[in-house]
Amino acid sequence: MQHPILKALSQVIFQAVVDLSAVTLGRAGQPVSVEGALDGWLNINGPGDYNIVHSHPNATWSGVYYIDVGSQDDRRPHSGDIEFTDPRGTVDHLEAPVVAHGGNRRIKPADAMMILFPGYLTHFVHPYTGVGERITLAFNVQIRSVK
C-alpha cells in the first residue's frame, strides 16, 4: 500500500509532467492524455555529499522534489546546488559572443521545490557543506504515449 503523502506527491508530479508535455508539444492549455510509468527514490545526503555529472537514460522526464534542503553554508554559496550542463557539447569552441540561450544553469533549491527536466540533460549536484541532512525525492517518468 502506498503512503498517502507519496500518492499525493506522485499525482502532483504526474500532473506537472502532463502540463510540461503539453507545452513542449505546442498544446498548452489543451487537454492532453499521457500514459507512462513513474519511479522514484529517496536521497539522504550529509555534509560533503554530492552527485557526479550524469543523465537518466530511458527517462522522458526526470526530476527532483526537495523535501528538506538542510542548512545553508554562507561560506559556500553553491552548497548543494543542482547544475545542468549545456547540452550543446563543444559550443565553447565558438568564437562568437555568448548568446542568450544555452550555457550551464545552476539552481539553488528550496524546501518543497520541484524541478522537471528532460532525462537526457546532464547535471550534477555541488557538494553539500551545510549542517544536517538534505532529503530529496528523485524520479523518472517514461512516457509511453501522448494523446
Residue 29 falls inside a structural domain: no
CATH number for position 111? 2.60.120.620
Residue 34 falls inside a structural domain: no
The phi-psi region of residue 103 (left if phi > 0; otherwise alpha if psi is between -120 and 50; otherwise beta) is left
Q: What is the pLDDT of residues 24-68, one digit of tens each?
A: 988 888 888 899 999 999 999 999 999 999 999 999 999 999 999
Domain range enclosing 45: 40-140
Contact 68, 112 (CB under 8 A): no
Residue 4 falls inside a structural domain: no
Domain count, the chain: 1
Q: What angle do CA 62, 89, 110 make, to 5 degrees?
A: 35
Interval 77-97 mean pLDDT: 79
Range of weakest confidence among 40-54, 89-103, 130-144: 89-103
